[in-house]
Amino acid sequence: MRLKNKPWALPLIEANPQYVVTEPEKWRGKWSERFSQKQPLLIEIGMGKGRFIVEMARRDPEHNYIGIEVQTTATGIALKKQLEAQLPNLQLVCGDGNDLTEMFASNEVAGIFLNFSDPWPKKRHTKRRLTYRTFLKQYQQVMQKDGQLEFKTDNRGLFEYSLTSMNNYGMVFDQVWLDLHASEEVADNVMTEYEEKFSQKGQPIYKLAAHFTD
Ligand SMILES: C[S@@+](CC[C@H](N)C(=O)[O-])C[C@H]1O[C@@H](n2cnc3c(N)ncnc32)[C@H](O)[C@@H]1O
């Protein structure tokens, strides 16, 4: 969903290059230099307003985190959270995560989160879904062999599509939840902005964790 453009967002981003990268391809292969500690890197594509990635970085100081978001206003809102939290293990990217191989070198990433990705329900837009095979190929290229992809959504159609797409690609499912909030694992779950909105309406949240085989 497109947020209304906020005029303060771009100046705020430009004033905080220590936290936000606007030319991510320049850091390809050397993202670890942007963090105070060299440790495994987890990324979220389409972080929106950043609630998930900021909270993950806060709870888990033993990983580095990058939140990627194409919308300037959403990135600005996430940046406000990071300016308050000042987490040394969190960086934000204001840019298009459509081609991750331009942003990250092979094996540079230890894990990927997709949360409530745009569903693109029309058949003619299938190739835009972030779990379409061309995206899976990119994830496989940038992720380490033992890396995991985690995907949450409220959208049943996108979830069904993603299960099939990943299975056809040869991925292995580590766990699948058809109602995450009714499961034991909800205790450790970090909610996103969209997740809160949809779960409050009583909609089930679907989740999967999967890995590549080669
Ligand atoms: C439906 S929202 C979900 C936001 C957040 N993950 C949440 O769960 O609250 C999807 C977000 O993905 C972003 N997005 C979509 N395609 C993207 C891309 N290619 N690169 C970066 N961000 C993208 C959108 O701008 C939007 O903010």
Which tens digits make up the pLDDT trace of 81-135?
A: 999 999 999 999 999 999 899 999 999 999 999 999 999 999 999 999 999 999 9
Separation of CA 154 from chain center: 15
The encoded tokens of residue 122 equal: 């029309």
3 assigned to some structural domain: no
Per residue in 25-49, pLDDT (tens digit) is 999 999 999 999 999 999 999 999 9
DSSP, res 24 = G
Q: Which domain, by its residues, includes 104?
A: 9-211
**CA-closest residue to ligand 1 atom 11:** 46
The alpha-carbon radius of gyration of the chain (Å, integer) is 16
Please check whether residue 4 lies inside any domain of the structure: no
Q: Is residue 2 part of a domain?
A: no
Which residues are annotated as catalytic? 118
In a domain, 124, yes or no: yes
Residue 35 lies in a domain: yes
Torsion of CA 60, 115, 50, 34, to 10 degrees: 60
Domain for residue 69, yes or no?
Answer: yes
- CATH number of the domain bearing residue 81: 3.40.50.150
Per the structure, the count of domains in the chain is: 1
Cα(77) to centroid of ligand 1, in Å? 13
DSSP state of 119: -
Is there a domain that residue 147 lies in?
yes
